[in-house]
Structure 1
Amino acid sequence: MSLKYAVLAALLEGEASGYELSKIFDVSFANFWACTPQQLYRELERLAGDGLVEARVVRQERRPDKRMFTLTEAGRGALRAFAAEPPRRPTAIRDEFLIKIQAMDGTDPAATAALLEERMAWARGKLARYARVRERLLDGRSEEEYLSGADRVGPYLTLLGGIAFEEENLRWCERTLTVVRHRARLR
């Protein structure tokens, strides 16, 4: 999938500057799609050139002018068509960390344990951020109230996917760490 549709989906939240979109990616999309600010700005230019987003300039007194982007009807149509298509292929994991674990036999168990502990800390940090996002989205409502009454539930459902992914990462790391430590004691 190209970044194009991720940017269009981010703009469903409403008008945003490139900076604001980069923050949306950091918070709402980080659990499934990453991009750098440079990639984001290039994609916004392409989308504007293709007529899928409109940009307007907002003059600012003490800061450089900023461009605010909104979806056009053509952008909404392209996003609807994309959302209706089945994915081209299933997700494949491509993770350097897993290669390191695959190759761990014969290496220092303490080094492998440190890698696992670092990954676990990372997963816990992401889970804490996701909990804050979840709390902000629910805004005092129960999950059932939110899912039955919110205008858009896609951001919440993808957040649940990110939470499940990180919880499983944590479970797998804990299990793998137990195995690594047990094997180290046997040597």
Structure 2
Amino acid sequence: MALRHAVLAALLDGEYSGYQLAKAFDIGVANFWHALPQQLYMELARLEKDGLVAGRQVIQETRPNKRLFHVTDAGRAELERFAADVSKPSFIRDDLLVKVQAADRIGTGPVIEQLEERASAAEAKIELLGNLLRQFRGDLDEEEYLRTGERVGPYLTCLRGLAFEEGHRDWCLRIANVLRERRTTRAER
């Protein structure tokens, strides 16, 4: 998947400035696609040049002017083409896993600390995603929202992000405990 498809999908919810798009990415897209704000601005320019989004200038009296972008018919067609493509399996590339793999040979102290930091960061994201899911649902319970909610796609990606973060937190805490116990056991020998 290219960043362009993630941007096009985010713009399906309406017109966004580059700043608003970056905020939308932070909240709803970051659980499956990370992009820096400057990457988003560059991608918006490319998408506009390719005719997949259109921008319009908004004059503001008390702030600098801004451009708002929306998906064009060509952009929707590109997303439809992308949706029809067969997706490749995802894979993990994480430097912390390299450190865990080498932990018995290089020492566990720093690795345990990093695992606990990751677990803490995952916990914060779990809270954020849980709040976002509640906002989406409003007064509906989850099953009702999944059946009748206006826009289910962002909700489903948040569910995936939540499951990922919960699994990541649990794994980090478990592995930190395993490494800590092994260190204690070795010290007792």
TM bucket, shorter chain: over 0.9
Q: Partner residue of 2:38?
A: 38
Alignment of 1:151-162 (within 5 A): 151-162=150-161
With normalisation by structure 2, the TM-score equals 0.95
TM-score (norm 1): 0.96
Deviation string, structure 1 residues 61-120 (Cα, Å, up to 9, x no partner):
121100000111111111111112111x21110101111111111333332221111111
SS at match of 1:69: strand
**8 A contact 2:137–2:149 mirrored in 1:** no
**Number of aligned residue pairs:** 186
Residue 57 of structure 2 corresponds to which residue in structure 1? 57
User: Which residues of 2 match residues 137-176 of structure 1 at below 5 A?
Assistant: 137-176=136-175
Per the TM alignment, residue 140 of structure 1 is displaced from its structure 2 partner at its CA by 1.8
Moved more, 58-67 or 138-147: 138-147
Displacement after TM superposition at 1:172 (Å): 1.0
Mapping for residues 1-187 of structure 1, pairs under 5 Å: 1-87=1-87, 89-187=88-186
Output the CA distance in 2 between the equivalents of 1:124 and 1:143.
Answer: 21
SS of the aligned residue for 2:62 comes to: coil
CA–CA distance in 2 between the matches of 1:42 and 1:112?
36
Offset, 1:170:
1.4
Instruction: Report the residue type matching 1:14 in the other structure.
Output: G
Identity %: 49
Task: Calculate the aligned-residue CA RMSD, in Å.
Answer: 1.1
Give the 4+ runs in structure 1 shifted more than 3 A. Answer: none
Paired residue type of 2:112: A
Q: CA separation in 1, counterparts of 2:84 and 2:58? A: 34
Which residue identity does 1:50 align to in structure 2? D
- Which region of structure 1 is more displaced relative to structure 2, 46-55 or 109-118? 109-118
Structure 1, unaligned runs of 5 or more: none
Cα distance in structure 1, aligned partners of 2:150 and 2:134:
17
Equivalent position SS for 2:105: coil
